[in-house]
Structure 1
């Protein structure tokens, strides 16, 4: 049976994954979020793996929560450490002489399992994969394990590649602010039964904060009219009921917990947001890979284009002032694109100051087919997105039918990467195919 404490569970999951091939469980079930490895993906993977590992009949196979990033990149996510801490803020030292964080049942970042621990000899036939916060594996993972994807819980556009009716595995794709909300809704009965059969208030408080962290961040503390859904509100109520501070979720959760006097929704959200948005210690290389997703789109003629999206939690004005000037930004983006063999590099920003909340979209087409695709995207979506030049065109080069082109716009704030990436990917597929046919 899987250990009840989160720390012991993660240790057991790591041991199962890294055991010699002859000693690994078969099939080994892995739960993984998308390649941006943002707070929602990481917390959702941990939560779903934990609850399924404690729920019959799934607990016959220990589920491994796998962070979709190399171990070195965990350090780029201080907001995740706060969510894991078991308190409502960053772990504090017990005393000036004690260097051990007081996590009150939480776990440190280095206890998580990353791609760096994924064995080279692990093969698709010996695994089952459960996706959260996306519904299609990408990159090298797709090449190795796509045939073993068995289910998903996600809130993005359905890519149509996750099979249906795989026994014992969910296939949930629904619109809501946070994927963690869908995970809580899926697992709340298992959570309630576990709390009744094996009470552990300390662990449940850690799990509740893990659930609340992405829900609050992704819905602006349940205040965003464009993002917050009833699913998010119900899930937050369940998690807050575990912390004993909400009556709304108790009837559904049917559990009684002592009030966690340390928890305050607004304070927790503010602390997570502060940690997520403080980029002052990072380089452009760090920032561009902190929340990054990449897609390759094929055309009917057999060609392909690859696009990479970097989402940044500050505006371009902040970056140019605090990280590096225009040349440093473009040099960083060019290096980032070349290292990943991108045809199109994208930065999407979320501006919090500099005159109010806004979003900016910087696109760099690095070759002729990419220029055609980006121009197609602009022609099709300027009105829909309300694209307007940013900063008097200071990031723009002249658009042409060959060579390269980079330009930057402001756009409607309700459009995040979740909405804009499919639009650009459609333009990549349709315009490249037409261009190829004309050559």
Structure 2
């Protein structure tokens, strides 16, 4: 009697639970595993992109699997499905488990999907027995692996899909797709929709709906609902158009976007340390300088007031920088409460970098149109008196961290 094989998953929750179980079993027994890793900020784009790539890559790897039958007994079928895949693809959120709650927009997104944040593997779930010789990695939403994974797995990169500036690493990666789009999720859905159309079309309707919502979340957020002309590319437009057709008749794009925005802005309960950690990226330049950028969705004045003044905020930032071994600590803020604005604070944390803020201002002021912070409207009575620290309001509003970070790194690399 023939045994029916599982055709495909009917929910992303089934995939994530099965992938996590197979990962734990493979890692502890030194069997090969494939991780799909987003960037260290673990933002919505990295979160969604890692799941999208891992799921779609798993579907195309599945050997000789019928595409017409649904799952019968989910637990048994999911286990059997992963047992037939020699190297499963596992999404990984590049933060510890205890930092997941710092990102309420992720929880809002999963409320529209079949899984919860607890189903998503994080750095806390990596077993100590995981060895680089048995691990391959796909990078999504960045193209250079960063700490804490970098020291152990930098030689394990075999594929990349990203929308940031190409740092010219891992030239043998395949695929190696690095194109400027509003969202990395656009590149991933475009890649699998284009190159694996048969697999894509054979997915059940429930999965199409989940994939669509999962991918639409970062694309809409990163492009301001396709209204940020400087960020939107034709790929983003095509993907949103196709994904909306699959999201379900009851899906309300504008309400979905507004809900994500509201959730992302719900940061009043976070400590200053939590605000600095919530959306954070770090780099180490070739000259050894370590630079970290925290993005916060409130004005710098709001953050300083929450800290209890500029001195208290500076003390919090100093501790944060010391804990992470930073030479340069940067805070970029955005605020929509009284018209859109961007603020930028830079602190050179030691003798080598204390002149960095001034060097940055001297080299980019014309492009960034920096205006000294605070001004009379900011309501901050004490000015910055910390050596090596400067802050500005950034009049060039279209320059986000994605555009600013390469410039900051270029200046830091010359120190």
Q: Distance in 2 between matches of 1:24 and 1:234?
A: 41
Q: Deviations over 1:38-89 (max 9, x none)?
A: 0011100000100010014796532000000000111111111221223xxx
Q: Distance in 2 between matches of 1:119 and 1:333?
A: 31
**Aligned equivalent of 1:85, options 108, 111, 130:** 111
Partner of 1:237: 241
Residue deviations 1:232-284 (CA, integer Å, cap 9, x gap):
1111112111124xxxxxxxxxxxxxx2x1x1111111100000011111111
Partner of 1:280: 268
* Residue in 1 that maps onto 2:82: none
Q: CA deviation at 1:375?
A: 2.5
Aligned to 2:155: 147
Equivalent in the alignment of 1:6? 12
Residue 51 to residue 389, structure 1, CA distance change in 2 (3 Å): same
Q: What secondary structure does 2:375 align onto?
A: helix
User: Where does the alignment leave 5 or more consecutive residues of structure 1 unmatched?
Assistant: 87-104, 245-258, 433-439
Q: Does the CA contact (< 8 Å) of 1:51 and 1:191 recur in 2?
A: no
Give 1:227-306 correspondences, 5 Å limit. Answer: 227-244=231-248, 259=249, 261=250, 263-299=251-287, 304-306=288-290
2:291–2:326 contact (8 Å) kept in structure 1: yes
In the alignment, the residues of structure 2 paired with residue 161 and residue 44 of structure 1 have an alpha-carbon distance, to the nearest angstrom, of 20
- The alignment covers a number of residue pairs equal to 383
Per-residue displacement from partner, 1:300-347 (whole Å, max 9, x unpaired)?
A: xxxx22111000111123324456433332222121111111111110
Contact 1:178 1:218 in 2 (8 A): yes
Retained in 2: the 8 A contact 1:314–1:351? Answer: yes
CA, structure 1 residues 426+190, in 2 after alignment: closer, same or farther (shift >3 Å)? closer
C-alpha deviation, 1:140, in angstroms = 2.5
Task: Select 1:109's aligned residue among 117, 127, 143.
Answer: 117
SS of the aligned residue for 1:139 comes to coil
- Residue 69 of structure 1 corresponds to which residue in structure 2? 95
Counterpart CA distance in 2 for 1:337 and 1:295 is 13
For the pair 1:313 / 2:297, whether they are aligned, the reply is yes
Q: Does 1:119 align with 2:127?
A: yes
Question: What's the TM-score once normalised by structure 1's chain length?
Answer: 0.82
Determine which of 160, 164, 170 is the counterpart of 2:168.
160
Structure 2 distance, partners of 1:376, 1:128, is: 40
CA distance in 2, matches of 1:239, 1:396: 48
Give 5+ residue unaligned stretches, structure 2.
1-5, 64-84
Determine if the alignment matches structure 1 residue 33 to structure 2 residue 43: no
SS at match of 2:148: helix
Q: Which residue of 1 aligns with 2:22?
A: 16
Distance 1:196 1:60, change over 3 A: farther
1:363 is paired with a residue whose SS is strand
How far 1:226 moved relative to its partner?
Answer: 1.1
* Cα pair distance change 1:266/1:198, threshold 3 Å: closer
Asked whether 1:379 is paired with 2:362, we answer: yes
- Find the residue that maps to 1:410 and give its secondary structure: strand
Q: How many Å separate the matches in 2 of 1:209 and 1:21?
A: 31
State the partner residue of 1:342: 326
| CA distances 1:354-388 after superposition (whole Å, capped 9, x unpaired) | x3101000011111211233332221111111111
